[in-house]
Structure 1
Amino acid sequence: MTPLNLDDVARYVELNIGAFHEKRIASLGRLKLKDVLKRKNPYMYRAKHVLTAEQIIRGIVDAHISSNEETLFGDWLEGLAIFINGQVYGGWKSGITGVDLEFDRDGRRYIVAIKSGPNWGNSSQIGQMKTNFLTAQRTLRTGNSGLQVVAVNGCCYGRDNNPDKGSYYKYCGQRFWSFISGDDQLYVELIEPLGFKARERNDEFAESYGQMINKFTREFTLEFCDEQGAIDWTRLLRFNSEA
């Protein structure tokens, strides 16, 4: 074990956090209004007494951003976790399906599936993770029958006060970051470097966001509003649901 150098973590963040922000902006650029409208429920907008195109557009774009950013930042944190573990325990990104990180400690091989938060999946998804763990354990033991393989679901934030799940462990928040780094306070220490140039990056994103709202509002008004500017619900429903 090599003690974690927080300066190395800060440098990693500074060099790589830009990729997250760039993907946020790129994701907005790929968004197509009509594709999203086909997946939305126009009855709900009508029931909520939505009156303007911009209300619908902001709802669509904001929902996309919220869902997409959680995924993008979860992927970015996965990379950070693998980097940190590599510095401390020599861990590596796994090539096994459903496993993100592998490392050896105290004579055991740890296989880790990294998720953003504790409530990441339904029963079917959790069942698939368990299957992936069992397959990975069998694969790793093929060449070394005596290898002790420990499966872990690591969650970057949140809590789970019952980490022993029987066939695997679930470490969340402080427990997870401590598990991969040996530093009980890392979960707090990460906050400062993650703010690197956050304001400048968010200003860039806000400009792209504003342009997208204006573009989609204009497109929606031309396609789904009448000459008086009112939303033509029949036209919208036919586009969304007509056979």
Structure 2
Amino acid sequence: MRSAQEVENKIGELLDDFYRRRIEKIKKLKLKDTLKRKNPYLFRAIGTQKASEIVESLLTAYMSSSDEGIFGDAFFEPLAKYVSGGTVAPSEGVDIVMETKTTYTAIAVKSGPSVFNAQSKKRQEEDFRALGNRIRKLRKQFDPIVGYCYGKKRQKKETAQFRELAGQAFWEELTGDPDFYLKIIQLMKNKPQEHSVEFKKAWDAAINRFTREFVETFCDENGNIDWESLVKFNSGKD
């Protein structure tokens, strides 16, 4: 079992990496890449007139989606591996292995409980099944788990091919501590505030950079948005 100080230090390291990645992402982001993913008709329909409003909406939506993926990779997954005491899995679709003389627990770590569609769930079941077939030759009980680092999950046990644990239940499974899911928040301490100045600087620079490019590309000489030009870029034939 890791000490509180060890976990706090690890959480600090992971938050450093999370912020490094998100700042790097926003610095490299291109306006036209984000415009291709958004609905220009909606901006027009809700009466948007300012380039800066479109730009801020684009950045907010993009970073919200991007942050979820970055946080899973940079924070949740490595933290789960660290506190579990397990090893990195040697198999596709599995992140952590915890093994005893009689059991083999294979865990796929996911950020939240809404990650699966029918196809991805089937693929997860196949990954577990392939690993389970190998493990049973060792005459060990195979326990496949999908762990969601936040949220709640109610499992249909009669059709389950693997256990699903979310939020408190998942972190308790890894650590044996029913309060560990709360300690993650507590042990972040002041790290987010320490990084906020640097991120705000990168964010403001991106807003300014995007706004200048948007005005130059999609506004007329009077500063009005050229909606036809914007729609042609977004939806016209290549």
Instruction: Tell me what 1:195 maps to.
Output: 189
**Alpha-carbon distance, 1:163 to partner:** 7.1
Unaligned segments of structure 2, at least 5 residues: none
| Distance in 2 between residues matched to 1:111 and 1:216, nearest whole Å | 45
Identical aligned pairs, as a percentage?
34
| Distance in 2 between residues matched to 1:188 and 1:74, nearest whole Å | 17
Contact in 2 for aligned 1:117/1:155 (Cα 8 Å): yes
Q: How does 1:131-142 map to 2 (within 5 A)?
A: 131-142=126-137
- CA pair 14-163 structure 1, distance change in 2 beyond 3 A: farther
Q: Give 1:205's match in structure 2, choosing from 195, 199, 209.
A: 199
The DSSP-based 3-state class of the residue aligned with 2:187 is: helix
Q: How does 1:158-177 map to 2 (within 5 A)?
A: 158-162=151-155, 164=157, 166-177=160-171
1:230 counterpart letter in structure 2: N
Deviations 1:155-185 (A, max 9, x none): 1111124374521100011100000111111
The two structures have a TM-score, normalised by structure 2, of: 0.93
Instruction: Tell me what 1:15 maps to.
Output: 13
Q: Give 1:126's match in structure 2, choosing from 118, 121, 128.
A: 121
Deviations 1:45-98 (A, max 9, x none): 111211111111111111111011111111121100100011xxxx11113111
199-208 or 7-16: bigger deviation: 7-16
Contact in 2 for aligned 1:152/1:170 (Cα 8 Å): yes
Instruction: Tell me what 2:29 maps to.
Output: 31
How many residues in Structure 1 have an aligned counterpart in Structure 2? Answer: 235
**Alpha-carbon distance, 1:190 to partner:** 1.5
| Distance in 1 between residues matched to 2:134 and 2:207, nearest whole Å | 49
The DSSP-based 3-state class of the residue aligned with 1:110 is: strand
Instruction: Tell me what 1:232 maps to.
Output: 226
| Distance in 1 between residues matched to 2:198 and 2:185, nearest whole Å | 21
The two structures have a TM-score, normalised by structure 1, of: 0.91
| Distance in 2 between residues matched to 1:205 and 1:175, nearest whole Å | 33
168-177 or 194-203: bigger deviation: 194-203
Contact in 2 for aligned 1:163/1:171 (Cα 8 Å): no
| Distance in 2 between residues matched to 1:39 and 1:172, nearest whole Å | 31
Instruction: Tell me what 2:78 maps to.
Output: 79
**Alpha-carbon distance, 1:220 to partner:** 0.2
Unaligned segments of structure 1, at least 5 residues: none
**Alpha-carbon distance, 1:40 to partner:** 1.9
Contact in 2 for aligned 1:110/1:152 (Cα 8 Å): yes
- CA pair 115-21 structure 1, distance change in 2 beyond 3 A: same
1:11 counterpart letter in structure 2: N
Instruction: Tell me what 2:88 maps to.
Output: 93
| Distance in 1 between residues matched to 2:177 and 2:101, nearest whole Å | 17
Question: CA RMSD of the aligned region, Å?
Answer: 1.6
